[in-house]
Structure 1
Amino acid sequence: MAGPKKRPSAEWTRPLRDEVRVERSILRHAPADALTPRYRRGSFGPSSFDEAAMTVEAVISTYADVQRRDGRGSYVERLDPAGLDTSRLVGAPLLDGHRQGGSRDVIGVVQSLRHEPGRLVAVLRLSTADDAAPAVTRIREGVLRGVSVGYRVASWRESVESGQRVRTASAWAVFEVSAVPVPADPNANFRSSHVEEDDIQTVERSEAEPTVTETRAAIRGIGRAAGLPTTWADEQIDAESTVVEARAAAFEAMQTRSRTTPRIRTAAPEADPTIQRRAMADALATRSGVPLDDARAEAARPYLGHSLRDFARASLEARGHSTAGMAPDALFRAALHTTSDFPQLLTGAGRRTLLASYTAAASPLKTLARQGSRVDFRTGSALRLGEIGALHKVSESGELGHVTRSEAVESYALDTYGALFTISRKALINDDLGAFNDWASAAGQAAAQTEAALLWSLLAQSAGAGPLMSDAKRLFHADHGNLLTGAALSVEALSAARLAMRNQTGLDGKTRIAVTPKYLVVGPELETTAEKVLASIYAATTADVNPFSQKLTLLVEPRIMDDSWFVFADPATAPVLEYSYLSSAPGPQMSEREGWEVLSREFRVVLDFGAGALDWRGVVRNPGV
């Protein structure tokens, strides 16, 4: 049978009464009466708890230093109170232990806050929902005391103090508050009962020791509160640990666990590499003016102040590579030639910038065309089926007659267009991100201009007659009924164009298809005239009413250099032009590789694009005067 356990000479068992908190004042060589413990009577429940309003006051941060570790080694994380942004803190959620899995993890909300010397204090309104009741009860009883914050850092400031690396969050914002068993900031907690010095009393050493049953129950309670397995409590009971020793062992177990699990108090919840890379790419693209939605902007916020060097270091450290002491040249070499995500980060940011400028520079001619898709670069055909005309009357015997449909085939092929750009080693070291973003933006605009030029070339061929169609006639031809006599843009001229479209027949040459005009397309010279023609008129008489007011949409194509103008139908009902991308690569595509002839990174943009004319019935051209 195991002998009695020896207790440290300077340690006393804490009385197992909820209303007592012991403060030890022990001197190693003091007389016996000096070893008498002292305590202050007071409820564990926070005195700031308002039962009617369901609110409680808490110190949510004292800006205490916290020891951290990253790929470069250990460092001190420090929060600068002057850099705290509290604009979104009121209304932020109070979570149960930083869990963000769903609504059940929200146990309250930040109702108000105030700054006190050296600390940030908040009034928290607790939820009355049933699923929040266990956590709220522990807060009310004073069992759950710790408070922790989740925050995001927009910029860091690094320094060295007494040989220790210090990272100071110079711009940061709290986005949630949590009730936790052990906070990273030891002084962050729910405000406890006020204790007067006059309440101090003496506890005699002869006070009764707890029973074995009480000790075992207390140890199991400690294990549950600390989130430890039941086997831990069994081991403490088998070792005949006291309650004080069990508390110390639980604290050590929690410290060990915190060193091997993701930290709770952190600049932002750690994302997987793909999400982190996307957030960094968004931050890079934002510096070029690319807009982001609220969710992506919030994810990119911690990286907005990063330089290219910071991005390279973060990419390496995310893959477990140490960057301690690396010179800029060595840092970029490692980032570009290892398994880091830095090359993909640059490409991702470039694509965002490319697509944003490509979309913004899109020509109005794409609005007039239908989008198709091609699987390869061979000349493809666009088959158009004609109308079936009217339905035939069924004979008395119930026999149905067969009908035929006319067909027309137009064809075109895709071509490849591209450009190459190199970002030099010198530009990387100099953090010249602007050169890269400017090129990506220019490449997007060039891709949009390439598409617009190809679409316009279809309308401008043969002095404005357009391409040859399957009937061996040009797109705009008198026989097609879509080439009008030259006339200045006016309400009367528009009326003639609408009549020409209404009189169009289908492929069978008989069926009236009554095409409806939707777009008026002019060059810059006629823009003002077109706006006047289409302007709404509040007429005094019916004869003064503009029949085209709010019926046609004006599109201005800068490549129209004369007084000619066009009226187009909706491409969804009467397509005239069609454009296509390679199905595996829609729109401009960016890729990168390591520079071979020079120390650099090479980027290229490739566009697989083609366009052709499908039909003449959805457009009318007037050459103007």
Structure 2
Amino acid sequence: MSDVLTRRVGAIGPSSFDEAAMTVEAVVSTYADVARRDSRGPYVERLDAAGLDTRRIVGAPLLDGHRQGGSRDVIGVVQSLRHEPGRLVAVLRLSAAQDVAPAVAKIREGILRGVSVGYRVARWAESIINGERVRTAAAWSIFEVSAVPIGADPDASFRSEPMSENDELPTVEAPSIEMPEAQQAQIRSLAEVAGLTRGWAEDRIDEGLSVEDARKRVQDELRRRSAATPHIRTASPQNDGVARFRAMEDALATRSGVVIEDARADAARPYMGFSLRDFARASLEARGVSTAGMDPDALFRAALHTTSDFPQLLTGAGRRTLLASFTAAASPLKSLARQGSRVDFRTGSTLRLGEIGALQKVSEAGEIKSVSRSEAVEAYALDTYGALFTISRKALINDDLGAFNDWASAAGQAAAQTEAALLWSLLSQSNGAGPTMGDGKRLFHSDHGNTLTGAPLSVEALSDARLAMRQQTGLDGKTRITVTPKYLVVGPELETEAEKVLASIYAATTSDANPFSQKLTLLVEPRIIDDSWFVFADPASAPALEYSYLSSAPGPQMSEREGWEVLSREFRVVLDFGAGALDWRGAVRNPGA
């Protein structure tokens, strides 16, 4: 079913016409059941009054027969709204413009009495009641009201004065027109080719027109448009298609727990209740492919193997689920490292320039002396990591959206774990000594001044680590550099003890105060299984580690293709990632007690 629905629900009361104010009252909704059909067969459509979002009704346009071709199709506006038992009543303010005068005159005279509304459903609830399939619009909104020739509530009375709350609304049975699916599809196709709205087509279907009669109506509408004054259109079918695809992708991603912007939430709301089958059908129909009479198997075959956007829709939503899960599962070790970028997979070198020391005094002759800078080079390369997932034809037909979402989320977590394992391997090499640096010595080495004598975690031990970091010199071996501790990294066994050490203490005397309170950030790395602990500086000022992605593909990347050996869709996640040690001056290790 289209996301835009219409139904004739009431009548305009010409006796309530106010000539001075140009207003008239109308019952715009009685929440009556309507018989409809879809690919699964007939069902009863029911509107839940409690689920109606009324925020956009006031100010909504009053149209002439759901037409939206130009300004002359707008004959008024919804001025106010009120609820009465079993119905929704609106005051409609009519336009005094000459181009809509004929329609307004018919409303004034009581000749044009029918009212129809256009509405969108954000969430459906399905049930079986007395053996009938019932689809209840649990969350829906009205976006336009139209004056139409025939209303579905013929007993709605003229509104000459306000009705009391004790007045009862006659029960109205909505018309049920059993029209073959193929005939309905032809009428919708005629309307789409002619640029008419889906609501126009549904009205013709409700009237029970034959295909030939519908074609004549289309021709009449096109002749009327050609005789009308040209108007400027602000949207094109291409732009509409892009917006629709983005809204569907937002809805599918939201179903996986991805948070979208508030500004895009309204556009995505009509698709929130869609199943995989609904998304496949909408993707095909957006390309002009009729899905009438298609069973689920044929529907998915067409959606996956034609020019439909359905595969890209799955991949786009899956990529966003992947990245959201990847970000949420990021290791604390990434906070310790600087992010870089590489253009290829060859071993790349990171050059570090030393300090120039203090500035020299300029002589009386104005001579400025040249200075030299030391250099150090560290190297590492990127590698590729990946995983493959197949969503089977059976899962698609069973509308198993959860299987796809769970895999995308799990792949994001796996990518984050891969990065964490590579970063930890740098710190755990050679029993905790770390990788070999450009000077031929390990990252944590006594000659580097960043390996301490094993001691339990305490304020005193932290003081020793800070002192070791403060005493570091630059690449020239002489210039004192400013290295400030920022992170304390421990394993789960020391987490509680670390929290105690770093806790704020409201001491009675200065000597009792904790000098590290609110100065160090605690990071807990579950891969540390002994009593060792680390202190790291801010990687922005003194980076000890660096990680990089391939510049053309930062972070995990998802792609898809048609399954070859089995009837399925294959999805692949690839991560191009590498990490290396840059400098020992920004890290201190204590092996623990």
Q: TM-score range by the shorter chain?
A: 0.7 to 0.9
The alpha-carbon deviation at position 66 of structure 1 amounts to 10
Q: 1:111 to 1:488 in 2, by over 3 A?
A: farther
The alpha-carbon deviation at position 169 of structure 1 amounts to 6.4
- Residue 319 (structure 2) aligned to one of 338, 344, 351: 351
Q: Report which stretch shifted further, 275-284 or 58-67.
A: 58-67
CA deviations over 1:150-205 (Å, ceiling 9, x no partner)? 6431246899xxxxxx9976234226567x7x5699699xx998389xxxxxxxxx
Determine the C-alpha separation between the residues in 1 that align with 2:62 and 2:481: 66
Q: 1:92 to 1:580 in 2, by over 3 A?
A: farther
CA deviations over 1:69-114 (Å, ceiling 9, x no partner)? 99x9xx9999733256235527965468799xxxxx9x99976631
1:63 and 1:78 in contact (8 A); partners too: no
Q: What residue number does 1:5 align with?
A: none
Is residue 272 of structure 1 aligned with residue 247 of structure 2? no
Q: What residue number does 1:44 align with?
A: 19
- Residue 384 (structure 2) aligned to one of 399, 416, 420: 416
1:64 and 1:78 in contact (8 A); partners too: no
2:284 and 2:308 in contact (8 A); partners too: yes
1:90 and 1:111 in contact (8 A); partners too: no
Instruction: Provide structure 1 residue ranges, at least 5 long, that are not aligned to the other structure.
Output: 1-22, 24-38, 50-55, 100-104, 127-131, 160-165, 197-248, 261-268
Determine the C-alpha separation between the residues in 1 that align with 2:316 and 2:400: 17
Greater Rg, structure 1 or structure 2?
A: 1
Is residue 565 of structure 1 aligned with residue 533 of structure 2? yes
Is residue 516 of structure 1 aligned with residue 491 of structure 2? no
Q: What residue number does 1:227 align with?
A: none
Counterpart code for 1:577: L
- Residue 173 (structure 1) aligned to one of 140, 153, 159: 140
Q: Report which stretch shifted further, 437-446 or 531-540.
A: 437-446
Determine the C-alpha separation between the residues in 2 that align with 1:154 and 1:42: 34
Q: Report which stretch shifted further, 360-369 or 435-444.
A: 435-444
Q: Please show how residues 14-163 of structure 1 align to structure 2 within 5 Å.
A: 43-46=18-21, 59-61=27-29, 80-82=46-48, 85-87=51-53, 89=55, 93-94=59-60, 113-117=82-86, 119-122=87-90, 151-155=119-123
CA deviations over 1:521-555 (Å, ceiling 9, x no partner)? 10000000000001111111111111111111110
Determine the C-alpha separation between the residues in 1 that align with 2:587 and 2:148: 71
Determine the C-alpha separation between the residues in 2 that align with 1:571 and 1:309: 48
Q: 1:88 to 1:549 in 2, by over 3 A?
A: farther
Is residue 381 of structure 1 aligned with residue 349 of structure 2? yes
Q: 1:85 to 1:463 in 2, by over 3 A?
A: same
1:590 and 1:604 in contact (8 A); partners too: yes
Q: Please show how residues 192-207 of structure 1 align to structure 2 within 5 Å.
A: 194=160
1:84 and 1:173 in contact (8 A); partners too: no
2:25 and 2:91 in contact (8 A); partners too: yes
2:51 and 2:140 in contact (8 A); partners too: yes
Q: 1:148 to 1:278 in 2, by over 3 A?
A: same
Q: Please show how residues 411-490 of structure 1 align to structure 2 within 5 Å.
A: 411-490=379-458
Is residue 602 of structure 1 aligned with residue 577 of structure 2? no
Matched residue SS, 1:554: strand
1:61 and 1:121 in contact (8 A); partners too: yes
Q: 1:419 to 1:195 in 2, by over 3 A?
A: closer
Determine the C-alpha separation between the residues in 2 that align with 1:423 and 1:546: 56
Determine the C-alpha separation between the residues in 2 that align with 1:89 and 1:466: 62
Q: 1:418 to 1:45 in 2, by over 3 A?
A: same
Determine the C-alpha separation between the residues in 2 that align with 1:281 and 1:610: 31
Q: 1:563 to 1:93 in 2, by over 3 A?
A: farther
Determine the C-alpha separation between the residues in 2 that align with 1:570 and 1:419: 33
Determine the C-alpha separation between the residues in 2 that align with 1:428 and 1:41: 54
The alpha-carbon deviation at position 291 of structure 1 amounts to 2.8
Determine the C-alpha separation between the residues in 1 that align with 2:280 and 2:346: 42
Q: Please show how residues 303-382 of structure 1 align to structure 2 within 5 Å.
A: 303-382=271-350
Counterpart code for 1:173: W
Q: 1:390 to 1:518 in 2, by over 3 A?
A: same
Counterpart code for 1:504: Q
1:90 and 1:110 in contact (8 A); partners too: no
Determine the C-alpha separation between the residues in 1 that align with 2:541 and 2:518: 20
Q: Please show how residues 493-532 of structure 1 align to structure 2 within 5 Å.
A: 493-532=461-500
Determine the C-alpha separation between the residues in 1 that align with 2:333 and 2:80: 54
Counterpart code for 1:340: S
- Residue 297 (structure 1) aligned to one of 260, 265, 268: 265
CA deviations over 1:334-384 (Å, ceiling 9, x no partner)? 111111111111212221221121111110001111111111111111111
1:278 and 1:348 in contact (8 A); partners too: no
The alpha-carbon deviation at position 290 of structure 1 amounts to 2.7
Q: What's the TM-score, normalizing by structure 1? A: 0.69
Q: Report which stretch shifted further, 338-347 or 348-357.
A: 348-357
Q: What residue number does 2:559 align with?
A: 591
Determine the C-alpha separation between the residues in 2 that align with 1:505 and 1:371: 24
Matched residue SS, 2:526: coil
Q: 1:133 to 1:567 in 2, by over 3 A?
A: farther
Q: 1:545 to 1:144 in 2, by over 3 A?
A: farther
Q: What residue number does 2:584 align with?
A: 616
The alpha-carbon deviation at position 505 of structure 1 amounts to 1.2
The alpha-carbon deviation at position 276 of structure 1 amounts to 2.2
Determine the C-alpha separation between the residues in 1 that align with 2:314 and 2:18: 58
The alpha-carbon deviation at position 500 of structure 1 amounts to 1.1
Counterpart code for 2:530: D
Determine the C-alpha separation between the residues in 2 that align with 1:611 and 1:305: 43
Q: Report which stretch shifted further, 144-153 or 484-493.
A: 144-153
CA deviations over 1:39-77 (Å, ceiling 9, x no partner)? 989753458x7xxxxxx966444568999999x9xx999
Q: 1:507 to 1:157 in 2, by over 3 A?
A: closer
Determine the C-alpha separation between the residues in 2 that align with 1:255 and 1:84: 42
Determine the C-alpha separation between the residues in 2 that align with 1:92 and 1:254: 31
2:489 and 2:524 in contact (8 A); partners too: yes
CA deviations over 1:279-302 (Å, ceiling 9, x no partner)? 223333333333333233333222
The alpha-carbon deviation at position 622 of structure 1 amounts to 0.7
Q: Report which stretch shifted further, 168-177 or 283-292.
A: 168-177
Query: Superposition RMSD on alpha carbons, in Å?
Result: 4.3
What is the number of residues matched between the two proteins? 491
CA deviations over 1:446-496 (Å, ceiling 9, x no partner)? 110000000000011111001111111111111111111111111111111
Q: 1:134 to 1:45 in 2, by over 3 A?
A: closer
Counterpart code for 2:474: G
Determine the C-alpha separation between the residues in 2 that align with 1:436 and 1:41: 56
Matched residue SS, 2:494: helix
Determine the C-alpha separation between the residues in 2 that align with 1:184 and 1:383: 79
Determine the C-alpha separation between the residues in 1 that align with 2:528 and 2:254: 35
2:277 and 2:296 in contact (8 A); partners too: yes
Q: 1:158 to 1:288 in 2, by over 3 A?
A: closer
Determine the C-alpha separation between the residues in 1 that align with 2:16 and 2:569: 70
CA deviations over 1:571-592 (Å, ceiling 9, x no partner)? 1111111111111111111111
Determine the C-alpha separation between the residues in 2 that align with 1:116 and 1:527: 62
